[in-house]
Structure 1
Amino acid sequence: MLLLVGLLILEVRFETLRKGRSNIRFLSIAWISNFVFVPAIGFVIASLFLSGQPLFFTGLVIYFMAPCTDWFLGFTRLAKGNTALGAVLLPINMITQLLLYPVYRYLFAEGVAPVGASANEDTLLQWFLAPFATAIVLHQILKAVLLPALFSRLLAWVGVAIPFVIALLIMEIFARNIGVMIEHASIFAIMLAAIFLFFVATFVVGEVVSKITGLRIRSMHC
């Protein structure tokens, strides 16, 4: 995960962020979509599929309410979306989630799955801020010491490596949790169906929002 976040940030060309006003408009629309529309969709879908399983329901709801963080920037990269804007949106989403987590925990997990309040702070520091800062420093150093052509070639190589790192990460996650998935096979199948429906619903919402607001599809792919 650390490698993936580092590679994603290393590849980003932040010079594309100079158009301030349009970026603020996009970030505002993305924030509203992520923390108003998406949670509502996620809660409805989780209620339809897992209302009788409080622990799994809680986990699914929290998963649905955690948009655009960490390695999802990799999927923005695969979809040829704007990873520079995605990198700016990531810390905003992480901080918002950190602030909203006590609310989510009170509404959906009170007495079901207690989690320490510091969990999200550790996640923000370890899985985003540390590799983000490291990648930014490394990006600037390499840009200063390498010839422009060589630096561009290096970023291209990083871009080629990202899909393979994502594939390895997905394989590692499934391999590490295969025992749990087998033990709860029936619930796991239901959760997969719920997640599939969630992605379809949020894709439709994203398309509708992009058309209504006039945002380019490339920007919405984060």
Structure 2
Amino acid sequence: MNNKLQSLENNQIWLYFIALLLGAVSSVFLKDLTTDFSVIISPAIAVLLFTMFAQIPFLEMKKAFSNLPYFIALLIGNFIFVPIAVWTLLQIVDFNSYIAFSIALVLLSPCIDYVIVFTKLGRGNEALMLVSTPILLVLQLLLLPLYMYLFFNNELSSLLQFAPLFKAFLWMIVIPMAFAFALQVTAKSFKLSSTLLKQTAWLPVPFMAIVLFTILATQLPTISDHFHEIKMVIPIFLLFLVIAPLIGKFLSVLFRLPSSTSRTLAFSLSTRNSLVVLPIALALPDQWAIIAAAVIVTQTIIELIGELIYVKIIPKLFK
């Protein structure tokens, strides 16, 4: 990997914090200007997701099956144990439907992007995590509707407007993923595609910073206006940061995973996919979309802080 690119990726977390800080400052001192930023959120997320999908080795998905114990633990942890944990957490407080749905939306979706960097910083197996990402992405997109039905039953149909949800899913997830996959397929035969694929490696970090800045600059006033509701989700997200690695520890012992693989599993279970589910949140009915986006941004901020603690604790917990 190009040294400059590797340096950019290794320092991306600090760039994200700078972006969040600048977004917060802008929301206060440039409030009239930042309200105009909201129009670029959806296009920026679409480009960001395309650049992220382009880095996912879809054509090498079968390699994930070579480490069968890890793969089984990964699926059981992310798609059985974590949903049970999330459902349990939602019973702690009597949340309204908007907030409960938003919490479930973000916590049920395993991360496929910066979790790779955190895994590397936390002495996990980043190559194994990278190979796992296509499977995690496909399964979470398939299973999210099922989880939402199981969690909210008939209430879901009265709250959701499926047309905008489908539109958001199509334009910001399916189409970017299709373009990324096509680029990977044609890269073997066409020099232009190969060159473009290599250049996309530079884009996820700056576009993630742009998205984080824009979201916080436009949504922080909303978080402030709805803080009496949003503050209730903070303990839930903090509890999840504690519970998820413990699930990873249990499964690591159960499947007798080596230490680096155990750390990889722990990071996958603990890191959520906020930027992929954000387009879904923004496509919800008006007031719901505002609150859902605020909940997801809150989770992102808490998670980024938690990850910096993880990179110190998880290597000691998973020896």
Band the TM-score falls in, shorter-chain normalisation: 0.7 to 0.9
Q: Mapping of 1:125-144 within 5 angstroms?
A: 125-144=170-189
Task: Note if 1:8 corresponds to 2:55.
Answer: no
Match for residue 209 of structure 2? 167
- 1:195 Cα deviation (Å)? 1.0
Secondary structure at the residue paired with 1:144? coil
Change (3 A) 1:94 1:27: farther
- Structure 2 regions of 5+ residues with no counterpart? 1-44, 121-125, 269-319
Tell me: CA distance 1:123–1:90, structure 2 relative to 1, closer, same or farther (3 Å).
farther
Alignment counterpart, residue 149 of structure 2, candidates 81, 102, 110: 102
Aligned to 2:82: 38
Instruction: Trace 1:174-213 onto structure 2 (pairs within 5 A).
Output: 174-213=216-255
Alignment of 1:52-71 (within 5 A): 53-55=95-97, 57-63=99-105, 65-68=107-110
CA spacing shift, 1:5–1:26, aligned 2, 3 Å: farther
Q: What is the CA-CA distance between 1:33 and the residue it aligns to?
A: 1.9
Aligned equivalent of 2:91: 47
Q: TM-score, normalised by structure 2?
A: 0.55
Cα deviation digits, residues 122-158 of structure 1 (max 9, x gap) = 44433322111101112233342339xx958963x54
Alignment CA distance shift 1:209-1:123 (3 Å): farther
- % identity of equivalent residues: 16
**Alpha-carbon distance change, 114 to 14 in structure 1, aligned in 2, over 3 angstroms:** closer
- Deviation of 1:27 after TM superposition, in Å, equals 4.7
Match of 1:91 among 138, 142, 146: 138
Q: Distance in 2 between matches of 1:119 and 1:105?
A: 19
| 1:3 to 1:128, Cα distance in 2 relative to 1, 3 A | same
Give the whole-Å Cα distance in 1 for the aligned partners of 2:97 and 2:238: 20
Letter in 1 for 2:204: I
> Are the aligned partners of 2:51 and 2:180 in contact in 1 as well (CA < 8 Å)?
yes
In structure 2, relative to structure 1, the CA distance for the partners of 1:154 and 1:56 (3 Å cut) is: closer
Unaligned runs of 5+ in 1: none
Render the CA deviation track for 1:21-59: whole Å, top value 9, x for unaligned: 4366655433332232112222332332x32x4235523
Provide the rounded CA distance (Å) in 1 between the counterparts of 2:116 and 2:188. Answer: 21
Q: Which of these residues, 76, 79, 83, is aligned with residue 115 of structure 2?
A: 76
Map Cα deviations across residues 186-220 of structure 1 (whole Å, 9 max, x no partner). Answer: 33233223212212211221233234322724753
